[in-house]
Amino acid sequence: MTYLKYITHIFIIFSFFLFISCQKYLEENPTVFASPSEILTNEAGAELYTIGNYAQIKAIASDWDGWLLMWGTIAADEIVIPNWGADIRSIYLHSFTTSNNAILNVWTTLYRSINRVNSGIQKIGAMTTDQIDENAKNKFIGEHKYLRAMLYFCLVSSWENVPLVLNESQSEDIGNFEVSQSSCKDVYESIIEDLLYAESVLSEEQGNGRATKGAAQALLGKVYLQMTGPPLYETEKFSLAANKLSLVINSGIYDLVAYYPDIFTLDFEQSSEIVFSIGADGPGLNQGSRIGTLFGPQGQTINGGAAGNNWFTNLELAGPDSGFGGVDDSFFNGGRNNYAFAQPYTEDDIRSRNNIAKHNVNQCDCSPEEGMFSDIHRNQGNKASWKPWKWHNIKPSNWGTDTPLDQPYIRYADVLLMYAEALNGSGSLTQADADATINLVRSRARVFPNEVKADSIVPNLVVGTQEYNSNEILSERRKELCLEGWRRNDLIRFGKYFEGINSSQTTWSNSGNPQGQFSEHEIRWPIPFNEMQLNSNLVQNPGY
C-alpha cells in the first residue's frame, strides 16, 4: 500500500470534510467535523489538508469525464468510437459544438479543482512560524503548486487562452465571476513558475504517490516540449526540456521495469518506473478509479471484461501481421494510411499483447495471461471487435467502476522518449543517445515471459535525418504510451494532428471517421457556450 493511501485510511474520519464538505466550504460555514481554520493549526493538519487535495487531480484521470481520456485519447488515433454517446462521439468525429456537455464538464471540473488547490496554497501559506516549520510549509505549498500546474497544463493544451485564476474564489464555478482570459504564453509562464518553485522545495525521491523534485522536472520537460509546437513554436525550449529531463535520468531514482505488463499491475503501481501517478484505491472505498475496467476485452466485467464502454482498437495500430492483410482489406476504405509517425505494432511486440485484447472473456475460461499469449484465445474475436486493453481486470472481478489501480501520469519511459525528442529537436541526437533512450524502450518491448524476441521484431533505431528520427520517436510514443492520454498533445506538438486523425478505418464498430470533418480551428476546443453566457469578458476561440 502506498504512503498516500495509508495516510488516507488513517484520515478516514476527516474524509467527509476533505472530499465532500470541501465542495461547500467556500460558499457556507461547514457544519461537519472541522473547518479549514480548525485543521490548519499545525504541521500535521497541513499534511492532512495537502493529502486531501490530491483528490483534485482525479479530474485529469482517464475516467468517463477525465481530461486524459476526453482530450488525449478519444480524439486521437488509438481507438474508434461506435454509434453511441453523442457528446463523446462528436469529440471523436470533430463534429462538436460550443454546447458539448462533455467539453463543458472537463472545463468546469478543472476549474473547481484549481480553486480547491488555490485554497490550499493560500491557507497553508498564511500559517505562521509558530504553527508550522517554514521548510514543511514550503513543501506543502510546492505540492499544491505541482497539482495546479498539472491542471493548468490541461486547460492551456485544450483551450490555449484561458482565465488564469491564482487565488481562492468564494464560488467554485468560474462562470459565476467576471474574469478575462490570459494569453497562452502567460498561462505557460505561470505553469513554469509553479513547477520551478516545486522543483526547488520538494525532495528527490520516488514519492509513493506524492509530488517530488523529479516529478516537477519531468513535467517541466513535458511543458517545455509542448511549447515548441503550436501555437507558440518556441523551439528554444528544446534545450530547456533536455536539461530538466536529463536531471530526472541522472538522479538514479527511476528506471524501466523489466517486464512491460508489470507496470500496470497493483504490485508495480509505485515502482521505479513511476515518476508521478494519479492515486486510486478500491473497490468499495469510494476512492477508486475506472482505469482497471475502462478498457478491456469484450465480455462481462465479472469475467474480467470492460465495464460500460464499447470503443474498439484502431486497427491501424493493431498491426499488419495481426491477422489481416494489405491495402484491399475490407476493414479499410481505400487501405491503410501507413504514416511514418504512426507505425503499427508487430504481433510479437509485448505491448501489442498487453494493450490490445483480441478475446472475449465470456467465451473463454482464460486468465489475462492466457488472453495475451494463447494462440487459441488471442485469435478468438472478430477483428472489428478487438478492444483497447492496458490495465487488466481480474477474473472473477468485483472491481466494477471502482478499481484500485493508480494511473501513471509520467513514466520513466516517457521521460526517456521526451529526452530523445528534445535532443533531436535541437539537432544533437547521437546514436549513443538513441541507444540510451528509445532503444532501451524498444529492447524491453521484445521481452516475453520465457524468452526475448529477436531484434528484428522491434528493431533498434539507427539515427538518421532529423525528420526521420522525429517520426520514429512519435510512432514509438504511441506504441509505448497508448491509452495513457498523451497522444493528442503529441500529434499537435509534432505538427501531425490532421494526418493522425485522418483514419480510413470503417468497420461496424465505428460511427464514422474524423476524415473530412476536421477543420483547422478544431485543433483546440471551444470555450463552452454556458461560460460565454455567464462571463461577458470571455472571447470565443477562432472558428467557433
pLDDT at 82: 83
Domain 3-202+524-534 CATH assignment equals 1.25.40.890: yes
pLDDT at 308: 75
Is residue 63 scored above 60 in pLDDT? yes
For the chain, give the mean pLDDT.
88
Give residue 33's pLDDT band: very low, low, confident or very high (50, 70, 90). very low
Tell me the pLDDT tens digit for each residue of 227-275.
Answer: 999 999 999 999 999 999 999 999 999 999 999 999 999 999 999 999 9
The domain segmentation of the chain, as residue ranges, is 3-202+524-534
Which of 32-41, 292-301, 315-324, 525-534 is predicted with the least confidence, judged by mean pLDDT? 315-324
Assess whether the previous peptide bond of 231 is cis (omega < 30° from 0).
Answer: yes
Is residue 382 scored above 80 in pLDDT? no
Q: Among all chains, which residue has been given the C-alpha cell 462521439?
A: 89
HSE, side-chain direction, 13 A CA sphere, residue 192 = 16
pTM higher than the cut 0.75 = yes
pLDDT at 320: 60
Is residue 51 scored above 70 in pLDDT? yes
HSE, side-chain direction, 13 A CA sphere, residue 251 = 26
d(CA 268, CA 264): 7
Which of 178-192, 304-318, 340-354, 386-400 is predicted with the least confidence, judged by mean pLDDT? 304-318
Is residue 358 scored above 70 in pLDDT? yes
d(CA 273, CA 415): 10
| Distance, first Cα to last Cα, the chain | 47
Tell me the pLDDT tens digit for each residue of 419-454.
Answer: 999 999 999 999 999 999 999 999 999 999 999 999
Is residue 334 scored above 90 in pLDDT? no
Give residue 64's pLDDT band: very low, low, confident or very high (50, 70, 90). confident
Tell me the pLDDT tens digit for each residue of 499-542.
Answer: 999 866 666 667 888 877 899 999 999 999 999 999 999 999 99
HSE, side-chain direction, 13 A CA sphere, residue 296 = 31
* Percentage with pLDDT > 90 across the chain: 73
Task: Select the more confidently predicted residue: 472 or 333.
Answer: 472
For residue 254, what is its C-alpha cell? 527511476
pLDDT at 255: 98
Task: Select the more confidently predicted residue: 83 or 443.
Answer: 443
d(CA 514, CA 491): 15
- Single out the residue of 127, 197, 182 nearest to residue 152, CA to CA: 182
- Mean pLDDT, to the nearest integer, of 123-143? 97
Highest mean pLDDT among 241-250, 303-312, 313-322, 515-524: 241-250
Tell me if 14 sits within 8 A of 34, measured CB to CB.
yes
List b or e across 517-537, with b for residues whose CB sees 16 or more CB atoms inside 10 angstroms. ebeeebbbbbbbbbbbeebee
Which of 24-28, 107-111, 193-197 is predicted with the least confidence, judged by mean pLDDT? 24-28
Is residue 328 scored above 60 in pLDDT? no
Is residue 6 scored above 80 in pLDDT? no
Which helix (H) or strand (E) element contains residue 312?
strand 312-313
Q: Is 388 helix (H, G, I), strand (E, B) or coil?
A: strand
pLDDT at 379: 74
Three state DSSP letters for 151-179: HHHHHHHHHCCCECCCCCCCCCCHHHCCC
Is residue 333 scored above 50 in pLDDT? no
Q: Specify which residues 212 forms β-bridges with.
A: none
Tell me if 165 sits within 8 A of 174, measured CB to CB.
yes
pLDDT at 287: 83
